[in-house]
Structure 1
């Protein structure tokens, strides 16, 4: 036997086997990496969209007979901001569904308000109205004028070790009325009221106290509320209160608008939604709405539902419904300029910043927020561990 040829032949076959095994291993590693990478990419996208790194997680409890949902920022809070929902809504609308808050909805505009608050290092507390079975408005305003909510805030602030930090109130529609009423019962550093005003007498605080800096966000298409808000603005300016006004006008329903606002709507789904709305006749070729979407729901919903699959079209619980209502711009919660508005309030309103553009520049200087799938850095460039601030 030629042993040299034999061993060279064995060596050759061994190298072939090793090469084959290596190829198989590389293949499975590549597949695993691709799958894991895709999974991580999807998870990363989801986390970035909701920007969970800004908050310490949602907490749900009952205080003084009312549902309360809250979250602390990862860095020591520079203030507290209370959110009061509108009719047919709840405090949990700001947070995405989770094991900690299974009834939370994470609606598009509410979620963006939450992101802005946490990015501004504001401890966020949402309180639900007492009415949880009817219209879910703030009917208790007629009974106690918001005193129970004020007591809830005092108790929660004390428990979190946040006594002494500025408190801001934020609300939309019926909740906007509550936000404007609370300064009568407690010290408030600023008010962020949307699409609803109050009787001018509400703005006259007892004991000669001055009303805090106030932002009114409203939609001129809602002529009745716009008129009330104009009266509120005039009243506050006459007493020396800094006031900022932001008018929200109709906008087209486009793929970009839908995907920017909702993390549940990707580009393919958005294209299908826009096409379905155009087919229904409620949206023109240029994307503008031809009629109010809410009363016309039965016209467009059957065409949109197959496009969005399991996503809800239930009134006041739907991402799509909220966004088309916002595009119509008559009476809807909105997140436009939210971070600039909160910055304006944090800097004392007109005492330090001239208007929305000045506030926007200040917000960018202190740490720019990027909404679409990009990691956001705080002005300090780092994040701290969640902790109690005692």
Structure 2
């Protein structure tokens, strides 16, 4: 009897041990399956990120708060037969002078409104101005005489307009910073030899530093450029070396390509998400975008308007109205040569750090 009881107890214990062993093995198996599944999901994401780094997160792509943009209200004046648009926040701490790129105007930086009927508010320009106003910068943009900036045609006129406007608006006690994009960057780098800026931001341009006799008191200069343009990146490195040899503070911010998404097109004032989605779908049906929605070619050399007309994404009148806006966003996504607001936090940090 005792023997039977001991054998039964042993068999029961063995059964429990076997069951426990099976349970452990199953647990280990499913644990490994779970890890493998996570690896399969995460690995492609890591590869994707390394390929396109840095990718802007959805939070980063939450471009700018609508209430910030609602504060845009540019004032259009013609001074010395030159187009000038400006806006001053309630308590300005500094003045931001903006020099646009070729084929652009001062009116591209503000939305159309009662005080600026000629303004068209391009996506990147308007966001830069909106953020400047929020950060306490009075903003003035001046149009070049011709398509691009020229020293003979523009330098003395801009110096005169900028000085008189600052005096008229009683902003003479405030420091002045400068932003120049492309042709405006070349112009600004030269203008700073004669006008006292607290600091500069030169965008998608290496400036004219090879031809300038830069002094030690030249303004601290930040270069914002697109890494895909390797030739310009090399020229910017040379410009930074010139400035450093003169003990001028300098730094760079690199910009990268972006995936084309419906959200990208909602940066256009008045663009609703449904229309933005139709635009995205029209582009997705072509070879313009790769499988990850990145531009395959520079949008400047693609007949993308034809695709939008064929898909009837919007009335032709609206399409014509937003042509420049769409072109800018495609240029931004391609990441080769375009004004960008995505690095404006770094730019305004640079300005703020160098205010007297």
Provide the TM-score with structure 2 as the length reference.
0.76
Aligned 8 A contact 1:50 1:115 in 2 = no
Task: Check if 1:236 corresponds to 2:259.
Answer: no
SS in 2 for 1:156: helix
- Partner of 1:88 in structure 2? 103
The alignment yields a C-alpha RMSD, in angstroms, of 2.3
Give the Cα separation in 2 of the matches to 1:50 and 1:153: 29
1:312-323 → structure 2 map (5 Å cutoff) = 312-313=319-320, 318-323=324-329
Quick check: 1:294 aligned with 2:310?
no
* Cα 1:121/1:251, change in 2 over 3 Å: same
Per the TM alignment, residue 251 of structure 1 is displaced from its structure 2 partner at its CA by 1.3
Q: Deviations over 1:251-294 (max 9, x none)?
A: 110123332x3333222122111110111221123111111111
Structure 1 residues 179 and 272: CA distance shift in structure 2, 3 A: same
Of 280, 284, 288 in structure 1, the residue corresponding to residue 286 of structure 2 is 280
Distance across 2 between alignment mates of 1:311 and 1:121: 34
Aligned to 1:185: 194
- Change in Cα spacing, 1:343 to 1:215, as seen in structure 2 (3 Å) is same
Is 1:225–2:240 an aligned residue pair?
no
Separation in 2 of the partners of 1:147 and 1:244? Answer: 29
The offset of 1:49, in angstroms, is: 2.6
How has the CA–CA distance of structure 1 residues 70 and 341 changed in structure 2, closer, same or farther, with 3 Å as cutoff? Answer: same
Shift of 1:230: 1.2
- Measure, in 1, the Cα distance between the counterparts of 2:265 and 2:279: 9
Matching residue of 2:308 = 304
Instruction: Choose the corresponding residue for 2:130, options 115, 120, 137.
Output: 115
Q: Runs of 4 or more off by more than 6 Å in structure 1? A: none
Task: Give the secondary structure class of the aligned counterpart of 1:280.
Answer: coil
1:51 aligned residue: 68
**Alpha-carbon shift at residue 202 of structure 1 (Å):** 4.8
Distance 1:314 1:281 in 2: 25
Are positions 1:154 and 2:170 aligned together?
A: no
Q: Which runs of 5+ in 2 are unaligned?
A: 1-63
Q: Distance in 1 between matches of 2:65 and 2:192?
A: 35
Task: Flag the 1:203–1:341 CA change in 2: closer, same or farther, 3 A.
Answer: farther
Q: 2:320 and 2:230 mapped to 1: Cα distance?
A: 27
Q: Which moved more, 1:177-186 or 1:219-228?
A: 219-228
Larger Rg: 2
Query: What CA distance in whole angstroms lies between the structure 2 residues aligned with 1:180 and 1:303?
Result: 40
1:137 alignment partner, one of 144, 148, 152: 148
Aligned residues between the structures: 290
TM-score if structure 1 supplies the norm length? Answer: 0.69
Residues 1:61 and 2:77 aligned together: yes
Deviations 1:122-153 (A, max 9, x none): 1100000012xxxx111x22x26722211111
Residues in 1 aligned to 2:69 and 2:265: alpha-carbon distance in whole angstroms: 21
